[in-house]
Amino acid sequence: MIQPGSKSPAFITLSKPLEAALIEIGGALPAWDISGSLLADATLKRYQAQMESVPLVKETTATLRHALTGEGGGYAVLRLGNLAEALGTGDDRFLRLALAFAAEVAVPFSPFPRWPLWKDIGVKVDKDPGKSSGIGYNAFHMDLVNATRPPDYSTLLCVRPDPLGGGLSILSDAHAAVARLPEDCRALLAESAYHYGTFFDLFGVGEEYKPFPILDGSDPDGGFVRFTAKMLVRSELGQAHAEAARELSEELVRGQVSFMLRPGDYLIVNQRRFLHGREALRSGQESVPVGDRRLLLQLFLRSGARDGSAA
């Protein structure tokens, strides 16, 4: 279901021998502990040691890192479906394996004190349709757009896709979209004239950033493109700045890729390169039992967290 003319997503399939080895070590991975907002050092080191004990892991993690940070990259989908089937998506052994892969990229952390490390994103038919747990179109955005230190990576582990067949994941190369805009539009996007949402009960993500520029200018190729399409309808913006953001939104849609996550698929998005969203779920969600509806688990990652900057 990849859009014609777009780049193919980096689907990474594990070899059968690697899957067998990971299933074997799944029970040896300890329960995770959190220190502040970050995965505890002791847990991180244990996970890394267990992964290093499986020689076949090295090539896969190298491929994963290249897909996320190499030229032209910015996201990847780890196909962990066979592990999920063998262990069960609700089994902590499977979640620990997914977490161990995440820890090969950066340090897992939770910005939400009231939520566990993995945050459920289910389906609520009575919620705002445009929200992550709603049933409508979830437009392109970066997570925690109004934080001075947003997560470097946003990840989604698919437990259940929409049983009715909707909810395609959508991604778009933010810097490529910006590059297609005229210079006067980019100049407006670089001005601190944008704001969106609230900011409370968060840690590990800095302070509230309000107003903020969509283009932060720190790195033309690797800086955040602080964008959420929801600001176009839920924030009061000046006409010129709103129009510039609208042009960016159109370019993001023009360059998007889309695909369906399957059970066990683990999507990792480099927020310094790509923005993400979701197509609407299929109509009829009210008739689907709550326990059968689409369910994703969200986890965030912080690069360079152990220098103390993310505490």
d(C-alpha 185, C-alpha 94), whole Å: 46
Domain that holds residue 144: 11-301
Whether 119 is in a domain gets the answer yes
**CB-based contacts of 224, cutoff 8 Å, min separation 6:** 142, 150, 216, 271, 272
Distance CA 286, CA 296 (A): 18
Q: What is the mean pLDDT of residues 110-129?
A: 92
Closest alpha carbon to 206 in 111, 291, 272: 111
Residue 305 has pLDDT above 90, yes or no: no
Whether 3 has a pLDDT exceeding 50, the answer reads no
User: Per residue in 215-229, pLDDT tens?
Assistant: 987 665 668 999 999
Say if residue 7's pLDDT is above 60.
Answer: no
Q: What is the DSSP letter of 220?
A: T
DSSP 8-state class, residue 286 = G
The reported pLDDT for the residue numbered 90 is 81
| Average pLDDT value for residue range 20-34 | 93
* Cα 29 to the center of its chain, rounded Å: 24
pLDDT at 8 over 70: no
Number of domains into which the chain is organized = 1
Is residue 194 included in any domain, yes or no? Answer: yes
User: Per the domain annotation, does 221 fall within a domain?
Assistant: yes
> What are the angstrom distances between the C-alpha of 163 and each of 87, 89, 123?
21, 16, 12
Is residue 77 domain-resident? yes
| pLDDT at residue 269 greater than cutoff 80 | yes
Question: For residue 123, what is the domain's CATH number?
Answer: 3.60.130.10
| Residue 91 banded pLDDT, cuts 50, 70, 90 | confident
Please give the angle made by the CA atoms of 246, 194 and 302, to the nearest 5 degrees: 100
Do the domain assignments include residue 1? no
Assigned domain for 311 exists: no
For the segment 183-212, the average pLDDT, to the nearest whole number, is 94
Average pLDDT of 239-245? Answer: 97
Does the pLDDT value for residue 134 go beyond 70? yes
pTM of the prediction? Answer: 0.94
Is there a domain that residue 5 lies in? no
Cα–Cα distances (Å) from 244 to 148, 184, 214, 241, in that order, read 22, 9, 10, 5
Higher pLDDT, 116 or 176: 176
- Contact assessment for residue 301 and residue 108, using Cβ atoms and an 8 Å cutoff: yes
Q: Is residue 4 part of a domain?
A: no
